[in-house]
């Protein structure tokens, strides 16, 4: 080998050694995280003001609804003085610093809890007639077995805006009387919903829930939504109630700028055979959304069955009423009584004694004092917010 060839060989070997060392070093280092891994390891701070804890967001099908949500606080209290004058429920209030010009910079958030509970209730005499002329001193509030420490406000509420969900059983079990029930529901909406003041939506259900008309104050649109319902399939009533309260009425409560009355009219025979959530989970969601549920049984046999007891349980737990018409014409009468009750209620706001933000269920009992033979009907309790 010539001297020139030997020198070239040495030069090539000198260049190869650093490359081999670099390759060996690459095998010793952990692989760089992927874009998805980086986003998991270092999530970008949100520039959006946090809201009170919401129920778990599940898939769009009601049968997929996840019942195990964290403790849900009630609607958020606004910072406006005018809104503060109205009764507010237990709420997590979020206050944010001014937004930064850089979207990636997190906002400073201060959270506080408003230890105040709102309850809407009705009072009837021994004949079932509504009593509308009572005052604050006529009532005593028991919260979690203890007297409320303070009554913040009391009103005879006859004119609050309504947010109503009409839930209609469209399963095979109600096919023979479905047309009459549709017409009764349409008449109720026409008589109850006031343009530019009240809002309602229509949701039919069999195996799945079908929103045929979203929130609107247009009674013609609501009528079309009711007529669009078609009977068929099984019954997933609990899923429908859960979805209506979580996806519609709870969200409406979060965006409502002032007080409103939220209610569900549930028209069904109570025979649920398809739901993923249980009856108690559906009731809990209604309580978290502060929704009063009125049930109208479509069982017109004249005998109270086990499914009528289901409807009664749902209504009583949320402060509503259960109606059991003996004939089809009584369905229209039930709607008329619900309309009357929605305009014949009281609203009280109070501060509980020894209140804790522990997410626990607390019972409510409102007692009528100084009067005999009066019956007070309200929701049975609520879930305290959790920190």
**Could you write out the three-class secondary structure of 200-223?**
EEEEEECCCEEEEEEEECCHHHHH
Residue 298 pLDDT > 60: yes
- Output the CA–CA distances (angstroms, integers) from residue 309 to 12, 40, 179, 245, 300, in the order listed: 91, 48, 25, 21, 14
46-55, 77-86, 341-350 — most confident range: 341-350
Collapsed DSSP state (helix, strand, coil) of residue 198: coil
76-80, 167-171, 283-287, 330-334: which has the minimum mean pLDDT?
Answer: 76-80
pLDDT band at 386 (very low <50, low <70, confident <90, very high): confident
* pLDDT per position as a tens digit, 151-208: 999 988 777 889 999 999 988 777 777 888 898 999 999 999 999 999 999 999 999 9
Q: What are phi and psi of 318, to 5 degrees?
A: -105, 0
Q: How much of the chain exceeds pLDDT 90, in percent? A: 43
> pTM for this one?
0.68
Burial (CB count <10 Å: 0-12, 13-18, 19+), residue 354: exposed
Which value, to the nearest 10 degrees, does the dihedral of the CA atoms of residues 37, 40, 41, 45 take? 140
| Least confidently predicted of 20-24, 43-47, 85-89, 174-178 | 85-89
Domains of the chain: 118-387 (3.40.50.410)
């Amino acid at each position: 080998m010539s001297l020139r060839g030997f020198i070239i060989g040495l030069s090539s070997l000198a260049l190869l050694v650093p490359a081999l060392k670099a390759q060996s070093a690459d095998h010793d280092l952990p692989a760089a995280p992927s874009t998805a891994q980086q986003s998991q390891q270092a999530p970008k701070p949100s520039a959006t003001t946090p809201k009170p804890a919401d129920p778990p967001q599940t898939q769009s099908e009601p049968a997929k609804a996840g019942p195990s949500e964290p403790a849900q606080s009630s609607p958020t209290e606004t910072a406006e003085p005018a809104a503060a004058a109205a009764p507010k429920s237990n709420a997590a209030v979020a206050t944010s610093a001014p937004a930064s010009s850089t979207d990636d910079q997190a906002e400073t958030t201060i959270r506080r809890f408003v230890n105040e509970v709102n309850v809407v209730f009705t009072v009837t005499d021994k004949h079932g007639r509504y009593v509308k002329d009572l005052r604050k001193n006529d009532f005593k509030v028991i919260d979690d077995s203890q007297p409320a420490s303070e009554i913040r406000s009391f009103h005879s509420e006859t004119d609050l805006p309504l947010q109503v969900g009409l839930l209609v059983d469209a399963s095979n079990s109600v096919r023979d009387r479905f047309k009459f029930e549709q017409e009764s529901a349409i008449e109720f909406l026409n008589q109850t919903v006031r343009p530019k003041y009240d809002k309602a939506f229509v949701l039919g259900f069999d195996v799945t829930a079908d929103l045929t008309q979203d929130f609107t104050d247009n009674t013609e649109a609501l009528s079309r939504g009711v007529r669009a319902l078609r009977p068929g399939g099984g019954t997933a009533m609990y899923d429908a109630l859960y979805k209506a309260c979580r996806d519609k009425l709870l969200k409406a409560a979060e965006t409502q700028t002032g007080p409103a009355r939220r209610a569900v009219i549930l028209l069904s025979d109570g025979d649920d055979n398809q739901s993923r959530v249980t009856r108690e989970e559906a009731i809990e969601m209604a309580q978290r959304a502060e929704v009063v549920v009125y049930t109208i049984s479509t069982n017109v046999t004249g005998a109270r069955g086990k499914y009528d007891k289901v409807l009664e349980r749902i209504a009583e737990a949320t402060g509503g009423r259960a109606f059991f018409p003996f004939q089809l014409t009584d369905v229209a009468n039930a709607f008329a009584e619900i309309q009357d009750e929605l305009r014949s209620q009281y609203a009280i706001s109070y501060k509980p004694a020894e209140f804790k933000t522990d997410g626990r269920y607390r019972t409510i009992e409102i007692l009528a004092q100084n009067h005999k033979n009066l019956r007070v009907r309200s929701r049975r309790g609520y879930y305290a917010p959790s920190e």
